Each structure stands twice: as structure tokens, then as C-alpha cells.
Chain A
Amino acid sequence: MTQQMDRPKHIGARIQRFEDTRLLAGTARYIDDIRLPNMLHLRFVRAQMAHAKVLEIDTEALEDIGFPTQVFTGADIGDLSIKAHQDYPEMQYSEQPLLARERVRFVGEAVAAVLADDAYQAEDAAEMVFVDYEPLQVVTTMDQARDPEVPGLFDGWRTNIFVERQMKGGDIAQAKAEAAHVIKRTYTTQRQAGVPMEGRGVAAEYDPASRMLTVWSSTQIPHLVRTYIAEELGLPESRLRVVAPDVGGGFGVKGQVFPEEVLVPWLAMKTGRPVKWVEDRREHLTSSIHARDHSHTLEAYVSEDGRLLGLKADISVDVGAYSTFPFTAAGDPGMAAKVMPGPYDFQHYEATFRALATNKCPIGTYRGVGRPSAVFAQERLMDDIANELGLDPIEFRLKNVVRDFPYTNALGFTYDPGSYAETLEKMRDLLAEDRAAAEASSNDPDKRIGVGLACFVEQTAHGTPDFTRRRVPIETGYIAARVEMTPDGQALVDIGLQNHGQGHETVMAQVAADALGIDPKDVHVRHGDTLTTPYSVGTWGSRGGALGGGAVHVAAGRIADKLKAIAGHLLQSDPQKIVLQNGIAHPEGQPDRHVAVAKLARTALRNVDQLPAGMEPGLEAQYSLDGPNDGTYSNAVHAAVVEIDTKTGKMQLKRFVVVEDCGTILNPLIVDGQVRGGVVQGIGSAMLEHFIYDEDGQPLTVTFADYLMPLATEIPEIELHHIETPTPLTPLGAKGLGEGGAIGPAAAIANAVADALGIEVTKTPLNANALWHLARQAEKNRAE
């Protein structure tokens, strides 16, 4: 794939986002803004026990409640469920019923659906439904999940392991035999929630006249939701429309198909009335999806002179009660195993990874997916190795990073060109003063300064083979765009992405405008509606800019070719030499001899008698762009400078620096925003966010008073530096970018803490309590 831009004008420009006008003026429309005539409001009765048999659901109290209600339970829905199976023989299957049937498996699982005429009544009524449970043995830890004596969460299960597999390349025994140093450590990252500003929500309406079922959902993947609903409910997909209106953040959370997204349309058809469900924050925190919750034991084999020879990894993830669609229970552990070799050059690798089932909310995709945990482990390990060998952590990394591209790693994945060494070298320069200050603070008993960094690659925009290898129901990863010109010379871009903060409405307009020679403001980008956009996998996996942008570029390019042909015909000039820019078409070097693009569009669509003989009327093109086989690899170095008050455990992030390379930058303002937003979430992972269950599987952090998100007051100015290494693998040279910001901070901050306190840090979050205990341990270690 080449055909890269030669004369970009709008691509690469620092253009403010067009969609922000709508978002900031409060005129965006979200699920909760949808009001349909005669609409029913849905409230769920959710499980209050982590693992129990459902003995009885008593709705008698609703008879006297004074307003009409309808209640549906697992007994009403037959075998409708979320099925997310991987085609591996050792996979143990789980099905998540749309409403619990006979058994609940985590606190927050939907047990009954209560419908009423308004949302207050629905909530009142749901409270009056009493569920009688018989408790079952609860599984809340990884050890319990691996214990064959503990009964399975599902009938017929052997132990509570969804799947355990291996990935390997090279000869790990040889690496071990040649190693002068063997360094083994275990690192864990805590369970988190995803927490977009807008929670989930679904509304549905069936129109008997057109036999159309319309479903509005706050989703990142409208086409996948459509296919799932159609298959599960046995409906023709052509009569089903899924609309994701304005979506107030997703971060991957809304990249799964949830039981509610199938149940709400089923209820609308069953009741013959529109139905709406809007999740509240407590539901979001307990019942959507969770993330992280990894434990990695790594064993590194290192030569006498500090070269990594091989790495052995044992990766466990507590993925909760059910496998999620479409990335499955193995998504997180498999991703961690796949990316663990990172930016380093070694050819012997072996990973065992497993997904463990517990009575907790299922794990799904959340910005980074497995990589923040993998990079935490990998980059903590790099510092621990450097420390043990007495090497400078930056020099140690520089000695081991990949420098010759394309590079094929131990697992056979090929990295396209990146700037691993250059980003490290740049960061080394940027941190020089802070590292000196940290060194000087090491004698201060109260205030300790530390500097830490994380160097990583991120496989982005991966193509179909990557999903085929994983045998997951996502199956593919392409993005399609359809570009159409209107007779006034403006353009419509209908794209299979869903824009929920990524700036697609601006970036896709920039790309189309460059191809068509018009102003980006004259491009209307539409998305998130299966009625108007071509089938695509939606927005996830850092592919919007790289693949969506590429698809728009190719489709718009085809229209441009036609415009040039028409211009050549009208101007009596060679179409090959026609240039489209600033709203006009002219032969190269002769801007005075021009015709307006709008005139060309009108010719193609209206005055077709003036078209070259035999030319098809119309100005429309569609292109579907799949990702490169192994994806394209973005890379970055993140660094944190921290100051820790050892007596109170208070940590101040004094500086956070990112040097990143996402290939061609399509819009620097948006790239900066994406990186900053990701870093803030990464800071949350590193320091604050922790979803906690007690030993009975009861969630303890169900409001924002207990589940602590990062706030502006805790976030330092985030310093950004860019290196651009365009990839030859996508049309515009762009690599994926959306997730990277969230991947590095936990590792960088943990390394800074380790540096400040002189102690190995093995887990997150590094909140005040954890830091105080680490400082005490460090004090004790020094005394011994």
C-alpha cells in the first residue's frame, strides 16, 4: 500500500475540531435525549449476590404500586444470550443470558427487566421486586479460580479457567542456557472500570409499517451491534438500523455488544412500544465491563554484557464471570502475551497465558487492552534488570531496542519502521536535569524525587489475519468510507467509524478536502448510523485515523480522478496534469486556466450532457481498507518525574513527558489531545483507580466517592514531543494513535516511584496508602 500524499494542504494542519461547536454548545444529542411517543422506561433488577441460585422472583408488590408495570425475567427470554466463543478446543464456553436464568454470577448482573411509563416509576417498581437467592461458593481470587477443587461457574466446567494457551518463538531453553543473569519478577495491575462520561444507554422502536427495527445505542460499533441483534433475534439485517448518536466517550468500554443492547430491542418488539434504558453510574461501575486485573510473572535471560536473550512470561488475568463479545475472555491475556516482547530485540520468547473466571464483572476492552499491564510488567522489569546489573536504565534500553526495520520479532510479527532509539535519546536529553535532581534528593529523608520512563511499541490498525490468528468473533478489522459530492461541490463522507471524541468529523474532512481540492469546512462527515454508513467494524483498536483516513483518501481520490477527467475535458487539457486545489481545477502551473470544482460536480451530477462521451454520471466512491497483516507499530517513550513525601505518602507528579511517533500526523491538535487524554487515564491507572471486591464478591467502589478518577487538580502539564516516521503500510503513512497515551503512564510512574524510594515496585495503584507502605519498606530495607 503506497500512494501517499504528495501535496497535502489540510492534512497535518492544526485545525480546531468542527464537532466541538456542537459538543460545547450543549446541542449534541445523546441516548437520554431520545424521547419517543408512548415510550416505556426500563430499569433493571440487578443481582445483589456474587454467586447464587435464583430461587424465586417475587413481583407481587407491584400489584398495589398504583401505576402500570411490566416485568420480564430469565424465564421469558428463552436462550437469548451473549455468546463470545473462541474457536479453540481448550476454550470453556460461557454464555451470558440477557437476564439471569437460574443462577447469578456477579453482583450487578441483570435479573429482571421492569418497564414503566417514566424512569422514576421504573426505578420505584424495580425496588419492589424481591429476588430470593441460595448462595453458592464464591470465586474472587485467581488462586481460587485455578483450584480444581472449587466448583465451576458453569455446568460441566473443569476448573474456572476459560482458556490457557501458549505463544512461543525461538528456543527459550537456549536463551536460559546462554544467560549470565536470570531475573524473575511478578507484577500485578489492579482491576479498573472504564468510565466514559456518558454511561451506556439503549433505546429501540419497531415500526410495523416499514417492518424496521431501529435501535439507538451508545456504542462504538453500530454495525457489529446490528449483526449481533439480527442473528440473536432472528431478524433480517436489512430491516434493522442501529444508530449511535452523539456518544459521550467510550474508551473501548462501548466496543462490546452488551446483553442490554439485545434485550431492549427484544422488549420493544415484545411490548409493541418503544423502550429506553439509560444506565446510571452505579450500574456502569458494577455491570458494564471492567479492565486490567493482570498478574505477570516474567523471567528474563540476560547476557554478561546486558543484552536481552530471551523472555519467559506467565500471564494470568481475572476476567470475571463471562466472556465478552467480540474480543472474548482471552482478549486481555492474549494481547498481553502477544505484545510482551515490546520494542526489544531478542528472538527467544515463550508465554503462557490464561483467562480466569471469577464472580466479578466481566473484563472487556478498555483503552490499551492488555498493553498497559504488559508494558507495566515489561518496563518495570527493564528497570529491575538494569538495577541488578548496575546499568543506567536508559542506556540498558538503548542497548536492546530494535534499530533495523522492518524487524520480525520472536513471535513472527513484523514491525514497520519506528523510532525506538531516537525517542529514547530525545527523552534522555529532556530528563537530564530531573535525573540530577533525583540523584541529589536520595539523601533527603522526607522528600524524594524520582524519574522513571517507559518505552513501548503499540501494534495498531491490525488487519484481518491478526484476528484470524486469535480466532475471535471480531473476525476482521477493516474500515469503509463512502465519499459523495453534491452538485454544489461540497462533499459527504459516510464512514463506518463512530466518532466519540476522536475528531473524525474534522480529520476525515481534512483528508477528503485535500483529495478533492476543497475546503474541509465543505465536507460533511457522517458516522454512527448503519442506515447511512458502509459496513465496518467501528471505532476501536487505534484504527480510525490510519484506516478510516486511508479509506477516505482512496475513495476521495477516485472521485478526484473523475473530477480531473471532467476538468481535462472542459479545459481541453490532459486529465493527468490537472491539479485540484482551493476549490478549482487547473492544469499544473496554469492556475489562471481553471474551472471551479463546484462546476465539475454540477457537470457530473446535473449537466451530464457536458460530460466526456460515455462517462457514467455521478460522483460517488466507496473503499474498504483492511489493516496491514501485522498492523503498524506506533512507538513512544513516556517519562514521569515524581516527588514523594515519605511521611504522608503524598506524591506529586512534577512532570510528565511524552515523546511519541504515530507516523504521519493528520492533525497535530487532535494528536496532542488524544495523547493527553490517554495519559490522564494512565495516571488514573497508576495512582488512583481501583475497583475492589471483598471476599464475598461484593463491590466496594460503586460511586465516585470510592472509585477515584484523576481530576484536573492532580494532572501536571503534559509535555509532548513528536517524531514522525510514516509507515509504508497505510495510504497516508499514519499509524494508530488513540490508545497509546494510556499505555505508558503506569510503568513510567512506577519506575519513578522505584527510583525515588530505592525499592522495587511490583503493583499498582500507587495511591497514598501504597506509597507510605513502600516508603516504610524502603526504610526497613536500608536499615538491614
Chain B
Amino acid sequence: MRPSEFEYHKADSLEQALALLQEFGDEGRPIAGGQSLVPMMNLRLARPAHLVDINGLGLDTIEKKDGVIRIGALVRHERYLAEPLIIDNFPAFIDGVRAIGHPTIRRNGTIGGSLAHADPTAELPLLCMLHDGEIIAASAGGERRLPATRFFEGAYMTVLEAGEMIVAVELPVPPASSSGAFVEMAERRGDFAIAACGVTLEHARGRVTRAAVACSGAGQTAMRAPQLEEALEGLELAHPDAAAAIAAFTETLNPPDDHSASADYRRALVGQLTEQALATACSRAMEAS
């Protein structure tokens, strides 16, 4: 449980970090909170020859500009819980953050790290997909904007290339008449979830006008549910009975079947959590309006 040998580099500027990452290519990894990378290194599942410490780069602001909230890659999870821009606009996001790990993880872990690690049932990948987030990745060659829905390729796999690192995430600010909720089921508090679901709603005159649903636990990455989202349009907030549409959605799922949970259980759980998240989102919408 000791990492293989690596060289440590402290970057003083983004340019320097990107230059180092370009130089090291596949052999280099940025490190910030280390909540995922360090355990992987100790297990020697990851063995970067060079670590580029990006903690000194700033990249830790949460700003609102032109209808989007921009979250720097180094923002630590616990920050959201005291951040009005997030609390006021993204109730599902806040629910999700509360479910992340333990106090130490929430204090040290960063959004860039969580997204780049891409655990199949981590909260932040799901939340960024739910909120139509865009992930901004930089390299010495320039920046790429990557929709969260196309960022994750599989368990612990993303479209990031060697020499590239996440610098920010942008979430479009939802309209005033919107709501959301996130629910997850984990064996113990703070564990990676068996399954999770987030729902956001825009609504008018007591009905859903637009819905987003993202869930994890049904595959190697979190996923959106476009058909279900469509089916939820027009749903009455006061009677959020979408059992049939949710069942139609879960029937299409082909979740993993392994020692910790059967495929049947995961499928049913995704449906159940979706129902719960939807019900909470609807009741929050009713309370607000």
C-alpha cells in the first residue's frame, strides 16, 4: 500500500501546470485534493511518474456570469453548502453534495478531481449531467468545452486526453420557476451509492414544462433519461404520479449484476429513487410557488 515512485512538481501558474502535463503526457497527473488519486496510487492501480500539484492555481471561485454558474476545478465539495449561488439555484445539487463521502472527503475533494476520476456512482458526475453542465478542459494547446453528457466513457474513463486537465465546470442557471431533488441509496452513509437519481423541473401553472432526469447505478456511468424527461412534461405538480413512465424507463435499463447487488434490485431501485426524487422536486416546486 505504498505508491510506486513518482516525482512531485508544484505548479505556480496554469500555464506552467499545462506545460508540465504536456511534457509528461501519459506519465503525468494533476493532483489537488487527492481523495481518489492517492488511494488509487497506494493500491498501485494508478502509477503516475509525475504529479503536478495544482492546488496553488486558484481555480477555486464560484461565479455567475451570462446565465451560467462557473465552478472552478479546485472548488472543494463542502463549499457548496455555504454558497448562495448554488443553494439558491440548484436544490438537487445541494442534496447530492450532502451525500458525498465523509467530512474529510468533502473538505479536500474537488469537483475537477471527482469528474476526472469518474466513479460510476459518484454524485458530481451525475449532478453535472443533470444540470446540463459543460466541463472545460485545458491543455497547452487550448481549451475544450465538453458537455457532461458526453464526458464519461465508462467506469473511471473520460474523454480527457493526456496533458489535459479540467479547469472549470459551467452550469446554466435554471429559470426562477424551477425545482429539483436528488436521492441516493448507499449501504452506509458516505459510501458510493448503489444507485442514485436526480430530477430537475421547470414548471408553470402547476405543471411541469421541462424535466431532466439523471441516474446512476444502472450502468458504467451516470445517464440521462430523455424519454422519461419527455413523458414528464405536463405532469401536475400536485399529483406527481409517473409510475408508468418510470417503469417504461427502468425496463430499458440493463444494470450490472454482481456480488453487491442484483440487476433486478438495481433496476427497481433506480425506479424507486426516481419516484422519490420526482416527488420531492414536485413538492419543493409547490412550496416555492
Contact = CB atoms under 8 A, between A and B. Distances in A.
User: Is B one of A's binding partners?
Assistant: yes
Interface of A: 119-120, 123-124, 127, 280-282, 647-650, 688, 690, 692, 700-701, 703, 705-706, 708, 710-711, 713-714, 767-769, 772-773
Nearest to B183: A648
8 contacts: A127-B4, A282-B1, A648-B185, A706-B260, A711-B189, A767-B187, A767-B260, A772-B268
Contact of A768 (B4, B5, B43, B185): B185
Contacts of A767: 187, 260
Given A282-B1, A772-B268, A688 B187 contact: yes
Given A281-B1, A282-B43, A773 B187 contact: no
B1 to A, nearest CB: 4
Q: Which of A690, A768, A773 has the most CB of B within 10 A?
A: A768
Contacts of B194: 768-769
Interface in B107-165: none
Given A282-B43, A647-B272, A688-B187, A769 B265 contact: yes
B273 A648 contact: yes
The 5 closest A-B pairs by CB, nearest first: A280-B1, A713-B189, A769-B261, A647-B272, A692-B259
A708 B191 CA distance: 9
Contact of B188 (A119, A648, A708): A708
Interface in B159-205: 185, 187-192, 194
A714 B191 CA distance: 12
Interface in B1-39: 1-2, 4-5
A701 B187 CA distance: 15
A419 to B, nearest CB: 35
B259 A700 contact: yes
B36 to A, nearest CB: 11
A282 B194 CA distance: 23
Given A648-B273, A703-B43, A773 B188 contact: no
Contacts of A282: 1, 43
Given A124-B4, A282-B43, A706-B260, A773 B265 contact: yes
Nearest to A280: B1
A713 B102 CA distance: 11
A768 B188 CA distance: 10
A713 B190 contact: yes
Contacts of A119: 2
Of the listed residues B5, B189, B260, the one surrounded by the most CB atoms of chain A closer than 10 A to its CB is B260
Given A281-B1, A706-B260, A769-B194, 20 more contacts: A119-B2, A124-B4, A127-B44, A280-B1, A648-B185, A648-B273, A649-B265, A650-B185, A688-B187, A690-B259, A708-B188, A708-B191, A710-B188, A711-B189, A713-B188, A713-B189, A714-B189, A768-B261, A769-B260, A772-B265
Contact of A123 (B2, B190, B192, B273): B2
A767 B273 CA distance: 18
A119 B42 CA distance: 13
Nearest to B189: A713
A91 B173 CA distance: 73
B5 A124 contact: yes
Q: Interface centre among A127, A282, A650, A692, by most B CB within 10 Å? A: A650
A281 B44 CA distance: 14
Contacts of A127: 4, 44
Interface residues of B, number: 24
B240 to A, nearest CB: 16
B61 interface: no
A648 B272 contact: yes
A714 B188 contact: yes
A81 B73 CA distance: 54
A36 B259 CA distance: 44
A714 B190 CA distance: 11
A710 B261 CA distance: 18
A710 B1 CA distance: 23
B272 A688 contact: no
B236 to A, nearest CB: 22
A707 to B, nearest CB: 11
B82 to A, nearest CB: 22
B262 interface: yes
Contacts of A706: 260
A200 B1 CA distance: 14
B188 A711 contact: yes
B269 interface: yes
B191 A769 contact: no
A773 B189 CA distance: 21
Nearest to B195: A648
Contacts of B192: 705
Contact of A688 (B2, B185, B188): B188
Contacts of B269: 648-649, 772
A703 B268 CA distance: 27
In this complex, the member of A119, A648, A714 whose beta carbon has the largest number of chain B beta carbons within 10 angstroms is A648
A61 to B, nearest CB: 14
Nearest to A705: B192
Nearest to A688: B187
A281 B273 CA distance: 34
Contacts of B191: 708
Contacts of B189: 711, 713-714
Contact of B187 (A123, A692, A768): A768
Contacts of B190: 711, 713
Contacts of A280: 1
B186 to A, nearest CB: 9
Contacts of A703: 43
B165 to A, nearest CB: 25
Contacts of A708: 187-188, 191
B269 to A, nearest CB: 6
Contacts of B273: 648
A282 to B, nearest CB: 7
| Residue from A649, A690, A714 having most chain B Cβ neighbours under 10 A | A649
Contacts of B1: 280-282
Nearest to A711: B188
Nearest to B5: A124
B262 A773 contact: yes
A705 B36 CA distance: 12
Contacts of A713: 188-190
Contacts of B44: 127
A706 B39 CA distance: 14
Contacts of B43: 282, 703
A769 B262 CA distance: 7
A334 to B, nearest CB: 30
A644 to B, nearest CB: 13
Contacts of A650: 185
Interface string B248-273: 00000000000111101100110011
A710 B189 CA distance: 10
Contacts of A714: 188-189
A64 B204 CA distance: 72
A650 B185 CA distance: 8
Contacts of B185: 648-650, 768
Interface in B218-270: 259-262, 264-265, 268-269
A119 B2 CA distance: 8
B122 to A, nearest CB: 12
A504 B259 CA distance: 41
Contacts of A688: 187-188
Contacts of B4: 124, 127
Nearest to A278: B1
A21 B192 CA distance: 35
A280 B42 CA distance: 10
Interface string B52-84: 000000000000000000000000000000000
A480 to B, nearest CB: 38
B206 to A, nearest CB: 27
Contacts of A123: 2
Contacts of A692: 259
B111 to A, nearest CB: 21
Contact of B2 (A120, A705, A772): A120
Contacts of B188: 688, 708, 710-711, 713-714
